[in-house]
Amino acid sequence: MRIKFTPILKKLSIIFSASLFCLVISCHFKTDPSNISTSKVSLNQGYKKLNSLKKRDSLDSIRALALSDRPDSEQETPSGMQEIKKIEKSYNLYKEYDTTLLKEKDSLHLIIKYYCLKNISVSIPKDLNYSNSGFQTHPFASSIILINRKDTVLNKEFKANYFTAIIGDNFGGNLSKYGSIIAIPSISKKSKNDLDIVLSFSIAIPATDIGYQAFMKISKNGKFKVLKEYD
């Protein structure tokens, strides 16, 4: 038998259904107040942590930007141990510069060799180098060969103490004891329009800022002269 709903029954049915639905929803979402408080604390902690990370990232970015904007003279230098490791890795290094220069009617063949003297050991005191700890190393030397046409007019090996003996040592004798040629000598730009060849040497104690630049003037006949300055 089908029940026929009157308009009044339909309204009551709708009201009853709505009330029942609200009751179910209210029971389902009822929460312990202590849980709500706990959620708020966790959320606040999360925001604090996020803000802290943002501030740290921002500071890191500012530091990086500040470092990149510094002039080269103010950039951070490698640590002492990094410098020492770099030197130790270069012991097997061999460099050679070979060129032909025209000086008036003469054709000069210049060869510059740069290498480590592994048979000689030097102990750098801890109060001199960047690492504040003494270390043992090997000095570097350079051989200069000059050929005028077919004649070898100069063929000599040079060490750091050759320069300090002539120019002097204003570092308490330390440059003479522990010095090295720290890079392959280069042709000075100052000799570009000169009849002589002028080479530039860097003389220093490894892993320190103790040293100076020296020059060597070489004539086409192989005669040479060490100079502290060259005009």
Nearest to 108 by CA among 151, 142, 143: 151
pLDDT band at 199 (very low <50, low <70, confident <90, very high): very high
Mean pLDDT for the stretch of residues 120-141: 85
Write down the H helix ranges in the chain.
7-28, 33-69, 80-89, 160-167, 174-178
CA distance 93 to 106: 33
More confident residue, 81 or 7: 81
The helix/strand count (H/E) of the chain reads as 5, 11
Residue 203 pLDDT greater than 50, yes or no: yes
More confident residue, 226 or 130: 226
Nearest to 200 by CA among 155, 170, 168, 163: 163
CB atoms within 10 A of CB 164: 22
Task: Give yes or no for a contact between 129 and 149, defined as CB atoms under 8 angstroms apart.
Answer: no
Mean pLDDT for the stretch of residues 95-104: 89
The predicted structure's pLDDT at residue 79: 62
* Average pLDDT of the residues of the chain: 75
The predicted structure's pLDDT at residue 134: 76
